[in-house]
Amino acid sequence: MVYQADEKRYESMKYNRTGNSGLLLPAISLGLWHSFGGVAPYENGRAMLRRAFDLGITHFDLANNYGPPAGSAEEMFGSILKTDFAPYRDELVISTKAGYYMWPGPYGEWGSKKYLISSLDQSLKRMGLDYVDIFYSHRPDPNTPLEETMGALDQIVRQGKALYVGISSYSPEQTAQAIKILNYLGTPLLIHQPKYSMLERLIENGLQDVLEENGVGSIAFCPLAQGLLTNKYLHGVPADSRAASSTGFLGKDEVTEDVITKVQKLNLLAQEREQSLAQMALAWVLRGGRVTSALIGASKVSQIEQNVAALNNLEFTDEELDKIDDILMS
């Protein structure tokens, strides 16, 4: 059956302006990290993408190394884009990244102009696209001058291969320097993608201030701490969880008794707010409008539906925020 998007898809989603740019992003974006690609069921990925778009999620976030295997998430997305989303391309914001290992030899990772431009060319072929909406430097390169990495981003925009550029996991100091270089080149930095959740708050130590002072947006990855801020780990490590497997970066050693105790207390507060723990965690990341979008992952359609429902209650009282801080600092 030919896919037709829900005519009411824009009625309930919240869209936020990305820094000082003209681009609006959905408050919830969908990342294609672990549940899309060669080892993932194709029809499940297709169903998740369709449902996400029907709920107003217009931003799909990829990277060259997403899968596994690397590149396969882009290939899957490209196939679904061709069969289902081709009529809606101009309603989508598609992003990809380069920075991590992709091929052998000295040019297959990090932040050289050689690698970034070659990688994006490969990504465009895998997805069947002429351009992406956002292209990111996925991580800072300690051995390549920042001027070269930012110069590659500028060149990519001028070549028409990306509309906007972003960076991910850069420190406040690196971010400020990247902004300065890109402003000089004439291709302003659109967005920063940092790791941010109730359990990972490093961006509050200066990065958010740098972004706001310079009119740059932000999109938080791992806002649910790879599942820790859901009901999955309330009673320990289940056998089918990410922490119990060899995939991903969440290990059993991170799911400590102390963490579980904190998560259980947060869950009680979420229940008082008539939200799931995941919904409260997403609302917390989006509180006050400092973060443009929360980037979720999902393995089934119901998770996307439940996460989008977090937008029904984004407000926190001062008492609730203080209680969350007390729980996390105990």
Q: Where are the domains of the chain?
A: 15-226+284-298
Stretch (H or E) spanning 82: none
- Does 69 sit behind a cis peptide bond, omega within 30 degrees of 0 on the bond before it? yes
Give the count of beta carbons closer than 10 Å to the beta carbon of residue 187.
20
What is the CATH number assigned to the segment(s) 15-226+284-298?
3.20.20.100
**Mean pLDDT, rounded, for 36-58:** 97
Alpha carbon of 314 to those of 208, 273, 289, 307, 309: distances in Å?
19, 10, 10, 12, 10
* Per-residue pLDDT, 235: 82
- The Cα–Cα gap between 236 and 260 comes to 7
pLDDT of residue 246 exceeding 60: no
**Pairing outcome for strands 24-26 and 15-17:** antiparallel
- The Cα–Cα gap between 64 and 74 comes to 7
Tell me if 241 sits within 8 A of 232, measured CB to CB.
Answer: yes
pLDDT of residue 283 exceeding 70: yes
* Per-residue pLDDT, 241: 57
**Mean pLDDT, rounded, for 117-132:** 98
* Per-residue pLDDT, 269: 98
pLDDT of residue 71 exceeding 60: yes
Reference 159, options 130, 180, 136, 182; nearest CA is 130
Reference 62, options 169, 155, 136; nearest CA is 136
Mean pLDDT of the chain: 95
| Surface-to-core class of residue 240, CB atoms within 10 Å of its CB (0-12 exposed, 13-18 middle, 19+ buried) | exposed
Tokens of 73: 């998430």
- The Cα–Cα gap between 54 and 308 comes to 11
Interval 172-229: pLDDT, tens: 999 999 999 999 999 999 999 999 999 999 999 999 999 999 999 999 999 999 999 9
Tell me if 138 sits within 8 A of 101, measured CB to CB.
Answer: no
